[in-house]
Chain A
Amino acid sequence: MKRTTIFISLRGCLRTLAGLTPVIALLLALTAFVPSALGQAAPEEEARPIPLLTGSAGFLTGFTGGQPDLHPLVTPLVLLPIGPKWLFETRATLETDLVQVPGRSGFHSGPVQKEVEYAQLDFIANPYITMTVGRFLTPFGIFNERLYPVWIRNLQSDPLILPIGIGPSNASTGAMMRGGFRAHPQFNINYAVYFSALSTTSPVDSDRFAGGRAGIFVPKARLEIGGSFQHLLQQERSDLFGFHLIWQPTRLPLDIRGEYADSKRGSGYWIEPAYKLSQLPFLQNEMRRTQLVARYQQFFTGPLPSDSLPPVNTKQFEFGLNYYFLDGLKGSSNYGRQFSSAGNANVWTLGLTYRFVVPLGPTGSAR
């Protein structure tokens, strides 16, 4: 029985690898065009890296139907550089909800939830390839891997399509090859190709799938566009697609981000412009710290049901105001309105988030 499963999974892997052959061939072909490709060793860094304890802490307050719900959380991330080419990194989240219990005064805490979000070992093989093994954030689209931490996201709510393509616990268990390189004087290419095995141990569960993401970044225009692909190697064995965009016009203090994702369990998109008020001619010190954000998103249900996605077609509009007190410390307030056939709802959030970086060793001078 066991052997059959292994055989099936091996066959699945091979089939997926065969499916990914054009992508891999394209990547290798691209690297071949770059002068002094592969053989080159990773650069000698000028300062020797030390272990770090970093991450974020947040205190978020949601108001649903006028009832406050306090949500403190802390997300430590440990970075352990080993030699000139290796990095071990792991991130966990501890969070709880404080709610008002009828008939009792004050707020009461529920159980503290702890979760190891990822734990991975990275090997920087050369300027074009980094290999990762372990449990890593699934690089489908951009939100999960790049924007998820509370100190980074512009609006505290998750996009409706976030669960598409990232697996049951936002992470994959397996191996990944990734990298970024200058492919042309005008643009860089970044790519990630991964395989994840099935794991049913909660909360570190993951699905069996293989996929990739590639992006083109034009530094002069500060524009990145890219696409994601994934083939599920279990259940309905379907294909998932995604598309993303990040644009920061050089002339305006504006960030525009957006994503589209499509799967058998639903599809949708979000688009999020964020504007820093630094161009206003008054209160300049305050205005350059103030950011206005808007996000519009739509979700469409798919032919198959999903526990993590909305059960009905949904539209959502959100508006936010962020204030950056200092590097890493941000105050934010969001208002959102959701429209769906299940009823319309308002969502308010107030929050304070902080990103910390604590060296675990002498920070001294270089070398």
Chain B
Amino acid sequence: MRKTWILRCCLAAVALLVRSAMAQEQEKAEKSSGTGAAAAAATASSPDMHSPALPKPGREVVAEERAARLEGEKRFRTNCGRCHQQPHKFPPRVMATAIRHMRVRAMITDEDMRFILRYMTQ
């Protein structure tokens, strides 16, 4: 009896949290709609970000690098402070091991891992 009561309270609390989080996001999206930052974030998650191999005119490559760095930073902030304090940057090969470890332990997605590793080793 007592347990179902607690479970119901937990679920109600979660529903409230999700609602307020969604409202917060919507508010933020409304505020930033049309600004350059939102456009940069949108291009950063476009699929061709994952294969930056084709030769491109210099300016485009720089813009792409910048967008990838922004996206990497965003994903770092979203994922890497969830369990512990966000770590600072380590040398590239140290970071590669830690990120592989976190991929297993924290179940960071493949795509997040690539962006974060790139951002943390630049």
Contact = CB atoms under 8 A, between A and B. Distances in A.
Interface in B75-116: 75, 78-79, 81-85, 87-88, 90-101, 103-111, 113-114
Interface string A188-222: 10111000000000000000000000000011111
Given A181-B110, A269-B10, A47 B92 contact: yes
Contacts of B99: 45
A225 B3 CA distance: 19
B6 A260 contact: yes
B109 A223 contact: no
A60 interface: no
A145 interface: yes
B12 interface: no
Count class of interface residues, chain B: 35 or more
B92 to A, nearest CB: 4
Given A46-B117, A243-B10, A248-B82, A178 B94 contact: no
Contacts of B91: 359, 363-364
A359 B79 CA distance: 23
Contacts of B88: 327
Most buried by B among A42, A245, A247: A247
A363 B97 CA distance: 11
Contact of A51 (B6, B14, B97): B97
Contacts of A182: 109, 111
B93 A49 contact: yes
Nearest to B20: A249
B80 to A, nearest CB: 11
B21 A249 contact: yes
A14 interface: no
Chain B binding surface SS class: helix
B104 A246 contact: no
B24 interface: yes
Contact of A147 (B14, B83, B87): B83
A62 to B, nearest CB: 23
B17 interface: yes
Interface stretch (A20-28, A104-112, A124-132): A124-132
Contacts of B93: 47-50, 359, 361-364, 366
Count class of interface residues, chain A: 35 or more
Contacts of A178: 104, 107
Nearest to A146: B83
Nearest to A151: B84
A145 B83 CA distance: 10
A248 B66 CA distance: 26
Contacts of B110: 42-43, 127, 181
A119 interface: no
Interface of A: 42-43, 45-52, 54, 79, 81, 87, 89, 122, 124, 127, 130, 132, 145-147, 151-152, 178-182, 188, 190-192, 218-225, 243, 245-251, 256, 258, 260, 262, 267, 269, 300, 324, 327-328, 330, 357, 359, 361-366
18 contacts: A46-B92, A47-B121, A49-B100, A50-B94, A50-B97, A54-B98, A81-B100, A127-B109, A130-B103, A132-B104, A178-B104, A180-B106, A180-B108, A221-B24, A222-B82, A247-B21, A248-B81, A364-B91
Interface of B: 2-3, 6-7, 10, 13-14, 17-18, 21-22, 24-25, 28, 75, 78-79, 81-85, 87-88, 90-101, 103-111, 113-114, 117-118, 121
Closest 3 CB pairs of A and B: A180-B107, A221-B21, A127-B110
Given A47-B96, A222-B78, 4 more contacts: A48-B93, A52-B98, A130-B104, A219-B79
